[in-house]
Every structure is written in structure tokens, then in C-alpha cells.
Amino acid sequence: MEISAQETTNKTKTSIAKFEEFFSTKYKDTVFEALERYPEERSIVVDYNELEMFDPDLADLLIEKPEEVLKAAQQAIQNIDPLRKNVEIHTRFQNLRNNIPLRDLRSKYIGKFVAIDGIVRKSDEIRPRIVNATFECRSCMRLHEVNQTSNLISEPALCQECGGRSFRLLQEESEFLDTQSTKLQEPLENLSGGEQPRQIVVILEDDLVDTITPGDIVRITGTLKTVRDEKTKRFKNYIYGNYIEAKEQEFEELEISPEDEEKIREMSKDPNIYDKIIKSTAPSIQGYRAVKEAIALQLFGGSAKDLEDKTRIRGDIHILIVGDPGIGKSQMLKYVSKLAPRGIYTSGKGTSGVGLTAAAVRDELGGWSLEAGALVLGDRGNVCVDELDKMRPEDRSAIHEALEQQTISIAKAGIMATLNSRCSVLAAANPKFGRFDRFKSVAIQINLPPTILSRFDLLFVVEDKPDMERDRKLASHILHIHQDNKIPFEIEPELLRKYIAYARKEVHPKLTDEAVEVIQEFYVGMRGGSTEDEDEASPVPITARQLEALVRLSEASARIRLSPDVTEYDAKRAIKLQQDSLKQVGYDPETGKVDIDKVEGRTPQSERDKFRIVMEIIKELTDDYGGHAPNNMLIKEMEDRYNMNKEKTEEIVRVLKRQGLIFEPSTGYYKVA
């Protein structure tokens, strides 16, 4: 049925009149404040529920014909104060009932007013868009104004003065509006296992530009529109934004019914709850109990603390698994990414040009965009990174801040931004030389610097060693899965996800005096072992970083029980887990002790002792041989007195020369610098 122009005009007048009444009764002060502050303030925020209660028909019309109704609202504000006819105050609507999941946007919603939830993936630079162009006739110089409604600039057909058809655009006389393109990705917690997140472009204009950054979780209200792709000739959807609501969406936000809550609380009282959760973590992989226990604690996490001096102590637990190929590291990471309420699985190499952290990238128009990587998109979640040792050089410099401060700073091409990366990281890396060698430090065997290794709370080594009993159990486990086509779950994955979500949302455990005493005694006792012989430097088995890790692990242990108190029991569980980790990667066979430098990739104490001995021998030989130590005598002394072979001595000499601790005044002679 065709609608006449007169009917359309009458409907518009009716809508304007209704909005005038609505604003006068519900938002009078808000409107006048905005008018007073214009142009610094150019919009008012209206609750859709209030409009619906005031006039349901007008609220429905807003959903069906948003452009028409929003223009009526703008005109109504101008009519309220006739002295300010030229102001353009936007009406922005929140709490829209028409909330549509991003993947459910279909053609029936085109032209409709919708609200969508998502995480900001990409943000382009702000550009001007011409909205009212002023043209000058090249023949008679008359000025013509043309309202611009499309991406292509529309010129006057002909000059009203002289009939000329040639015009010049006067940019300084034209009206421009700030515009920004962003990309929204659907929330991770809405995805089922294996689903790829959908994305949509959102166009923001005027005072909405520069209000969100990549990584922000938002609800955007706007009109669903389409644009033709000139390459494919198909149409693509986009949202023309009207309102942005920032959502501090937590890792743990899942729908948990009262029945779920009752079941979870009952499960927490089970004395075997730890064992059940550990067995439900990657159950298709046989063994590796310590690693699975660590992952279980990581999923529950510790409590972040915001201190009075504005510093933040993270509660997220970071774990690195180093191991031989083919033992299930990738499979374990993929499982955890699906189990976590907000999980991401990615590769260190990066599945996109952005990599793990974030980057300023060129957009299709030659400008710069800020795009979020996995650690930003996984904010308040769990990010599983396979092949961490193969990460991009740009990520290597940014990941230090991302792991410890849990922020990522970008300063490139005029873009200055700090993005949040408040997530726990479960990472895996392969040894450089194929198999892991326990007699060498982790850093020597994987392509990661000590500064990155030290950011991980726990490091585990998983090796493929022949063991008849273990191999028999492994074979039996795999064959039964193939035979029955079933995986035995102690706790079903969906229930465990809700358990984790509930614990993180409702439980914030604090250390008891007993737990503090246990952790303190362990820490002091471990460090005390390094000072028994004051005459000799001893290996340092543990540092303050490991102390903070113990607190996080203890808090996570309490969360599993839904306990508000971190008990002695939780502290001992954390200590045992950390000891398992330290013994695997920090044991120095030459001293028989745990050395944190070996864990974090620095030179172990036993190696430093050798360096010190070589320098002492060089000093002795320098005195004996007239100011210079002969290389052949140095090798002989080290072999006779310390049983060190020629190759090792020469290796140490090279390192000492590189560090500038010794120099070679003439070939084959050394001197301490």
C-alpha cells in the first residue's frame, strides 16, 4: 500500500509533537542542560524503557523506522527552544529491547534499530565526512549548498544564476562531521566449541568517535544498514551507531540457574572435588597430573588487588609447558580454551597480521587502524598460546608488559593507546633441538628470553620417555576411547564451566594467618638454604616472584572449594605444585640444588662459579707470567685442578671476552679487565 507524501508529513509531525511532550515531561532538565552546553555537549541519552512506557507506538516506530524517528527527536529538541534553531542535539537510546546476537543478524533486520553485544576488534583513525557541501560556480561565482547523503560527493546539476555546469568545492565553507569505522566481534562466551567469531563494521560519528578502544566489551545500539561491495557486487551489513554502552563483562558471566547454583555448592563440599576437576581437565590425555592440577588452579585463578598507590597485582596465573613433540600439548591447550568461559586458542606465529598483542596497521584507505590481538581480545579470560617460542619480534617486546602489568601500550603512526590484557596465559613451546635436555637451562633450549620466562608462575617439562607401566596405561586409555567413542568425564564440561564462572564471580578468598605462616616459612626456608655458606655464593632457589605466585595458587585452591578463606591446606597445595615445577626445570645436577636462574634461563650458580674460577686462574697466571696469562697454561691449570676440558674452558673464555670481563692484549694471552 502506497503512502502519500502528505501522510508521511503528518506522521512526522505527530512524532515530533510526541517527542516534544516526552522531553518536556521526562527529560526537560537534561535537554536544557545539553542546549546550554552545546556544542561541547551534542547528545542526550534516553532510556528506551521510559519511551515505551510513555508511548508504546512511538517506541515501536523507533525500532521499525529509526532514521525517521531520530530526525523527529532532533527536530523536537530544536522546537523546545526556538532561540536555538540551529543546534543539532542527538538523541541516543540505551536499554533497547531489540538485542540481537551478532550471528543472528539477517536481512529482516536491515533498516531496523537493533542492539548488539561484542568486543571491539579494530578501530580506524578518525576521518572527516562532508555533510553539507558548498560549491562555487566557476562562471558567475554564485554559492550553492548541497546536502550530502552518500559516500560520493553530489554537485549541483546547474547554476541557478547563469545555468553553468562547472563548480568548485569550497572546503572551508562546507560542513564536515567526524566519522570513525570500528569492527565489532561477537563475545567469546557465546561461541560453541570450534565456532569462529562473527564480525561486523560499526560506523560512529560526531561525539561517538574515539569513545572505545580495541578490547572493550560493549553493547552498541544502532541501525543495521547495507553497503555494496564493489569487488564482489554483493551487499555487506554494517551498523550505523547511535549509542555505546561499555560493559565491564567479567570472565565468569554465564547464565547460572538456581538449580545450577545448588548443584555447584553441593559439589564444592565433595572431599574429592580437586581430584574430579583435575580428571575433568583434558580427560582424553592420559597422565600429567601436576600439569592438569596447575591448569585447574589457573582456570579458577587468584584475586587481583588494586593498591592505594594505583598499582595492580594480578590474580591471573600464567603457565608455560615445554615438551617433546607429540605428547598432547596442543590438544591440552585447545581443550582448555573451550572449557574456559572466555577462552581463546591461538598460535605464537599469529593467525593474523596483528599477532598476540596489538598493532597499528594500515587500513584500505591508507590510514592507520588500531587492531587488537589475542591477549587483548581475551581480556578477563584465558588465552592459550601454542608455539609461544615462534612469536613475532613485535610481540616479544610487548608481551613483557602484557604478562605482568596486564596492559599493552601502543605508540605508532600517531596512535597512542593502552589496552587491557587482564587474562591468564597457558602457553606451550617446543625444544629447539627436538628433545628436552634436563641438564641444560630452559632458555637455552627454547627460543624465549629469560625476561619472558620469569613472568610465568609455573613452568613444566613434559617428556616422551619410554616407561612400560605408563605406556601400558596410555595405550589402554587411547584404545578404550576409540573402542567406546566416549571420554569418561568426572564432571561434564558445561557444568564445570559454570562451576568455574560461579567461583570466580562469587568467591574472593583472603589469606588466613595460618596460610601466611606456611608460605612465609617455606619462602624463608628455601632462601635460607642459599646463605648457609657465607664465604661462597650459593644458588638462589626462589625469589619474590615465586612468592606472589604461591599466593595466587593458594587463592585459586580456596576458590575451588568456594571457600572465602585461604587455609593452611591451600598453601601446602600451592607449595607442592611449585616444588614440582622447580624440580623439573630448576634442578642443577652439578650442585644438587634448585637454582631459580636455571628456571628463568639465566646462568646457573654452578656456571657462574666456573666463570669466577677461570678469572681467578687468569689473575694467578698473570702474576706468574709477567702480566699476561698464556692460553695453553690456562687450559692446563683448569684441567689439572678442576677437571675442566679444553672445550669448556675456551667456551668460558669466549663469554668472558664478550662481556668485557677479560681481554686479549696479544694472541693467545689474556688479562682481567
Give the residue, 451 or 265, on which the prediction is more confident. Answer: 265
Domains of the chain: 5-93 (3.30.1640.10), 102-246 (2.40.50.140), 605-672 (1.10.10.10)
The per-residue pLDDT for 485 is 61
In this structure, of 76-85, 199-208, 210-219, 582-591, the range with the lowest mean pLDDT score is 582-591
Give mean pLDDT, residues 106-134.
Answer: 89
pLDDT over 80 (residue 394): no
Residue 418, CA atoms < 13 Å, CB-side half-sphere: 5
In this structure, of 68-72, 517-521, 603-607, 658-662, the range with the lowest mean pLDDT score is 603-607
pLDDT over 60 (residue 285): yes
pLDDT over 70 (residue 257): yes
The per-residue pLDDT for 537 is 45
Give mean pLDDT, residues 399-427.
Answer: 82
Other Cβ atoms closer than 10 A to 334: 17
Give the residue, 78 or 324, on which the prediction is more confident. Answer: 78
The per-residue pLDDT for 473 is 61
CA distances from 33 to 37, 45, 358, 481 (A): 6, 12, 39, 68
Q: For 328-349, what is the HEC assignment?
A: CHHHHHHHHHHHCCCEEEEECC
pLDDT over 50 (residue 319): yes
pLDDT over 50 (residue 536): no
Which DSSP letter does residue 285 get? S
Rounded Cα distance, 615 and 70, in Å: 80
Give the residue, 93 or 330, on which the prediction is more confident. Answer: 93
Alpha-helical runs (H) found in 180-279 = 258-268, 273-279
All 3 cell numbers of residue 185? 566481534
Rounded Cα distance, 342 and 353, in Å: 22
In this structure, of 459-468, 549-558, 647-656, the range with the lowest mean pLDDT score is 459-468
State the average pLDDT for the chain. Answer: 82
The per-residue pLDDT for 469 is 66
The per-residue pLDDT for 340 is 85
pLDDT interval class at 194 (50, 70, 90): low
pLDDT tens figures, 587-597? 454 454 555 55
In this structure, of 39-53, 219-233, 340-354, 410-424, the range with the lowest mean pLDDT score is 340-354
Give mean pLDDT, residues 499-513.
Answer: 92
Give the residue, 181 or 413, on which the prediction is more confident. Answer: 181
pLDDT over 80 (residue 615): yes
Residue matched to cell numbers 547523503: 149
pLDDT over 90 (residue 580): no
The per-residue pLDDT for 377 is 83
pLDDT tens figures, 234-248? 788 899 999 999 876
The per-residue pLDDT for 592 is 46
pLDDT over 80 (residue 210): yes
Give mean pLDDT, residues 596-622.
Answer: 69
In this structure, of 131-135, 189-193, 265-269, 372-376, the range with the lowest mean pLDDT score is 189-193
CA dihedral sign of residues 35, 37, 39, 43: negative
In this structure, of 225-229, 313-317, 550-554, 600-604, the range with the lowest mean pLDDT score is 600-604
Q: Angle at the Cα of 268 (from 267 to 272), degrees rounded to 5? A: 80
The per-residue pLDDT for 251 is 44
Query: What residues contact residue 633 under an 8 Å CB cut-off, 6+ apart?
Result: 621, 625
The per-residue pLDDT for 470 is 62
Query: What residues contact residue 637 under an 8 Å CB cut-off, 6+ apart?
Result: 617, 620, 621
Residue 209, CA atoms < 13 Å, CB-side half-sphere: 13
Segment of 246-260, 480-494, 541-555 carrying the highest mean pLDDT: 541-555
pLDDT interval class at 252 (50, 70, 90): very low
pTM of the model: 0.71
pLDDT over 60 (residue 380): yes
The per-residue pLDDT for 450 is 76
- Please say whether the beta carbons of 549 and 578 come within 8 A: yes
Segment of 239-253, 465-479, 580-594, 651-665 carrying the highest mean pLDDT: 651-665
In this structure, of 112-121, 531-540, 588-597, the range with the lowest mean pLDDT score is 531-540
Give mean pLDDT, residues 313-330.
Answer: 85
The per-residue pLDDT for 311 is 79
Q: What percent of the chain has pLDDT over 90?
A: 26
Q: For 153-173, what is the HEC assignment?
A: CCCCCCCCCCCCCCEEECHHH
The per-residue pLDDT for 535 is 42
pLDDT tens figures, 13-41? 888 889 889 988 888 889 888 888 888 88
The per-residue pLDDT for 646 is 85
Question: Which among 322, 426, 413, 317 is positioned nearest to 374, based on CA atoms?
Answer: 426
Q: Angle at the Cα of 255 (from 263 to 341), degrees rounded to 5? A: 90
pLDDT over 90 (residue 275): yes
The per-residue pLDDT for 503 is 92
Give mean pLDDT, residues 279-284.
Answer: 84
Give mean pLDDT, residues 187-214.
Answer: 80
Give mean pLDDT, residues 566-576.
Answer: 94
In this structure, of 63-67, 100-104, 325-329, the range with the lowest mean pLDDT score is 325-329
The per-residue pLDDT for 524 is 86
pLDDT interval class at 648 (50, 70, 90): confident
Give the residue, 664 or 252, on which the prediction is more confident. Answer: 664
pLDDT tens figures, 355-369? 787 776 766 656 677
pLDDT over 90 (residue 392): no
